[in-house]
Amino acid sequence: MKKNYIMVALFCLIAGFLCAAEGVSVNIRYYDKKVYFAENEPVFILVTVANNSSGVYRFRIADDRAFSLDFDTRTRANRPVEHAEILERRRSSAAQVFFRDVSIEPGESFSFVENLRDYAKIETAGNFVVQARVYPELLNTARQTVSMNSPLDSLASNRLALQIKTRGITGSDGLAVALDVETGAVLERAKLVPDQVITWTLKARQKSEWEKFFLYLDIEKMISRDGPRQRRWRAESEEGRQRMIANYRSELQKATIDGDISAIPMQFDIENTSYNAREGTVVVLEKFKTGDYIERKRYTYYLEKEDEYWSIIDYTVMNLGTE
- Amino acid making up residue 119: Y
- Domain end, chosen from 145, 165, 185, is at 165
CA distances from 291 to 69, 108, 294, 295, 315 (A): 27, 11, 8, 10, 25
**pLDDT in the model for residue 171:** 42
**pLDDT in the model for residue 186:** 59
Q: Residues 128, 243: one domain?
A: no
What is the C-alpha to C-alpha distance for residues 247 and 241, in angstroms, rounded to an integer?
10
Q: Residues 153, 211: one domain?
A: no
Q: Residues 63, 141: one domain?
A: yes
In a domain, 207, yes or no: yes
Q: What percent of the chain has pLDDT over 70?
A: 82
**pLDDT in the model for residue 241:** 83
**pLDDT in the model for residue 6:** 46
Which residues share a beta bridge with 37?
165
Name the nearest CA neighbour of 163 among 41, 29, 47, 34: 34
Residues of the chain with pLDDT under 70: 1-21, 39-40, 94, 140-152, 166-186
Residues in the chain: 323
List the end-to-end C-alpha distance of the chain, in Å, as a whole number.
64
**What digits encode the pLDDT tens for the residues 6-63?**
444 444 444 444 444 678 999 999 987 777 777 667 889 999 999 998 899 999 999 8
In a domain, 287, yes or no: yes
Q: Residues 198, 251: one domain?
A: yes
Work out the number of other CB atoms within 10 angstroms of the CB of residue 44: 16
Domain that holds residue 309: 194-322
Q: Residues 201, 144: one domain?
A: no
Q: What is the CATH number of the domain that holds 142?
A: 2.60.40.2360
Strands 44-51 and 24-30, by their bridges, are: antiparallel
In a domain, 259, yes or no: yes
> How many domains does the chain contain in total?
2
Are 221 and 229 contacting, i.e. CB atoms less than 8 angstroms apart? no
**pLDDT in the model for residue 142:** 47
Q: Residues 227, 318: one domain?
A: yes
